Amino acid sequence: MDDNVIEEGRHIDMITQAAQISILVKDLEEAKQYYTKKLGFIVRDEIEFSPGWKYLTVSPGSANETRLELVKADTPEQEEIIGRQAANQVLIMFLSDDIEKDYREMKARGVIFQGEPQPVPGGKGVGFEDLYGNAFDLYQPDTKEG
């Protein structure tokens, strides 16, 4: 038995949530403009620690605790995986409470989608990509009535 997970027959909560996800980008300002202007995110942190080292995070809103850190790729290995950090799989699934509205607004701002929102297990979803080609999903869970 793994002592870190089960204690006296009960589950121990160790990890409570994801706080930050790093996304490699070619240019911080270009990426910041995309995530704020096209996706409607807000800048949460923007701190220059030293020349060439800037900490920049964005999130869908101020109440959203998970932040995306936009990280300037600075090695050939990092540059090589920009746009495909998840090996051409979905990197992040974003939740929506009105997928049709969000889809229309994001598409009008120039976001590239892979089709239109469709029924998927447990709700509706549609794929889209960022300015570098990272794959994301927009998902609205079914509402539970009753």
The average confidence (pLDDT) of the chain is 91
Nearest to 104 by CA among 122, 89, 126, 83: 126
**Does the pLDDT value for residue 45 go beyond 90?**
yes
Residues 53-76: pLDDT tens digits? 899 999 998 888 889 999 999 999
Q: What tokens appear for 56 in the block?
A: 């920049």
Nearest to 142 by CA among 123, 115, 119, 127: 123
Residues 123-140: pLDDT tens digits? 999 999 999 999 999 999
Query: With contact defined as beta carbons under 8 Å apart, do 61 and 67 qualify?
Result: no
Query: With contact defined as beta carbons under 8 Å apart, do 99 and 140 qualify?
Result: yes
Q: What is the mean pLDDT of residues 79-96?
A: 95
